[in-house]
Amino acid sequence: MSREEEQRVDTQRRRFLGVATAGTVAGTAVGSGALTLGGLAAAVATDAASAPRTEPVSKIHRWGMFVDASKCADGCTACVDACDQENGLNLQSEPHGSNEAKWQNQRSVWIRKVKLQDRASGHVTNLPLMCQHCEHPPCVDVCPTGASFKRADGIVMVDRHTCIGCRYCMMACPYKARSFIHEQVDQKLTRAPRGKGCVESCNLCAHRLDEGDISTACAQACADENHHAIVFGDLKDPTSPVRQAMAKQASRQIREDLQLNTGVRYAGL
Amino acid sequence: MRDYRFTTVPGASAAVALTALLWLGLAGTVQATGIGDFVVGSSKAAGLENCVEPTEYMRRNHMEVIRHQRDTTVYGGIRSTKHSLSGCVECHVGYDDKHQPVAIDDDDQFCSACHDYAAVTLNCFDCHATVPQGEAWNQVHPTMGHSLVPGVETQAAAATASAGSAAAPESKTR
Ligand code: SF4
Ligand code: SF4
């Protein structure tokens, strides 16, 4: 009920913004802002200049991904491995005395390879599942400290400085996207701080974006493997690769019944 | 700054003056050996004239500066400024004989040496990398970024001015 109410308000706000600034994109919705398309494209052009950002992120962009599950290869873990490397997840070490199965279940993971099989036909679908960067993120709703937040450009992440490790957000997330760091981590990358007692999840390689590099490790790795199952880009820019891909092919949200308006969309499901 | 309590009590008795003098002397010694120079010889910082802001300013305000940048980075995505923690680490990390970086929070390294002396616990490195690790955007020239903390320049200038007049003998400060 409150969700409906929120959406109603939201729609109006978007319509207002649509008039005031630029074409609005609610996820997949094909931009209604043909009128202001030029303006948006110009803004994107200046903003995308490959340099570290000096202005705070803004809602000119909404970052997201398009995943074509039909291209996602069985047995391939390129995206997961690349993510591990990029975000220092491979530097986690198994705590002394823990058993292997428990550790595999507990270690922080940002992307999971999910395999679905249709019982009737036996058809197998593979897909990478990560934080869906919901427009209405339940993880943010439940966070008691405000640590779980949505950046202006749509990236949902955790401010570890204020996270108290209550793990409410892990329970609230419908996609099992979040991980908890149980132990002190010895090795960490400068770009990916990590410490005991905080929750974390995919941040769409925010450090790359902030540097002016519009890419994610997973999409890049997938393309390098010649699978091209993951496309990353700006959902608000009709000329971006992600929007181009979405324009060509029907896509859907996982658990669209929850009306979270996810930033990651899937085709071939 | 520290000395003013003593120097502005002209009407004190001889005994007090003597104590004050003693204290002054002590403070001087402590300053020379204790606070003198925690910059690790093998670090990049050792070869630089100044920190990202004047030394006097950084000594008293580095935590404010870092915290300000922290929120700017987490919420605003701005990482390229000169007040980032990774910039501190990049510049102040020491190197061993084999040219391998030594964790900046190890005993006697830049952060710990001073924090131990001041008995202030620091927990930045529970999460943050203690040596530069993996490429990062603002590690090449941390001093070249621009400042985001309002008023930092004026405050820093004031700190330098007062340091120049009050603590002139304290020349090797960094
Ligand atoms: S997928 Fe989960 S962690 Fe990501 S924004 Fe949605 S609720 Fe939050
Ligand atoms: S674990 Fe951290 S981010 Fe998650 S709800 Fe609790 S305080 Fe918020």
Domain spans of chain B, in order of start: 2-163
- The pTM is what? 0.74
Segment A217-248, tens digit of pLDDT? 999 999 999 999 999 999 999 999 999 999 99
CATH class, A63-267 region: alpha beta
Binary contact (B137, A192; C-beta < 8 A):
no
Touching check for B74 and chain A: CB below 8 Å? yes
Give CA–CA dist B63/A141, Å, rounded.
31
**Interhelix angle A217-224/A78-86, nearest 10 degrees:** 140
- A207 in contact with ligand 2, CB cutoff 6 A: no
CA of A137 relative to ligand 1 center, distance in Å: 5
Tokens 């930092």 — which residue?
B152
Q: Select, from the ranges A110-119, B16-25, B103-112, the one with the highest average predicted confidence (pLDDT).
A: A110-119
**Angle CA A11–A30–A172, to nearest 5:** 55
In contact, A265 and A68? CB cutoff 8 Å: no
pLDDT value of residue B164: 52
pLDDT value of residue B43: 87
**Which atom of ligand 2 is nearest to A164's Cα?**
7
Give CA–CA dist A179/A176, Å, rounded.
8
User: What residue segments make up the domains of chain A, in order of their start?
Assistant: 3-49, 63-267
pLDDT value of residue A97: 84
pLDDT value of residue B47: 86
pLDDT value of residue B159: 61
Segment A154-179, tens digit of pLDDT? 999 999 999 999 999 999 999 999 99
Tokens 């001093």 — which residue?
B143
Over residues A52-73, mean pLDDT: 93
Binary contact (B77, A53; C-beta < 8 A):
yes
Closest residue of chain B to A194, computed from CA coordinates: B127
Phi, psi (rounded to 5 degrees) for B95: -125, 145
ipTM, two decimals, is 0.76
Q: How confident is the model at residue B135 (pLDDT cuts 50, 70, 90)?
A: low
Segment B112-123, tens digit of pLDDT? 988 998 999 999
Over residues A211-220, mean pLDDT: 93
Q: Looking at beta carbons, which residues of chain A come within 8 Å of B74?
A: 157, 159, 161
- Helix, strand or coil for residue A223? helix
Structure tokens at A20: 């005031």
Averaged confidence pLDDT in chain B: 71
Structure tokens at A158: 């955790």
Structure tokens at A207: 């450090």
Q: Which of A53, A57, A189 sits opposite B80 (nearest CB)?
A: A53
- Residue A97 is classified by DSSP as T
**Interhelix angle B85-92/B55-76, nearest 10 degrees:** 130
Over residues B63-81, mean pLDDT: 89
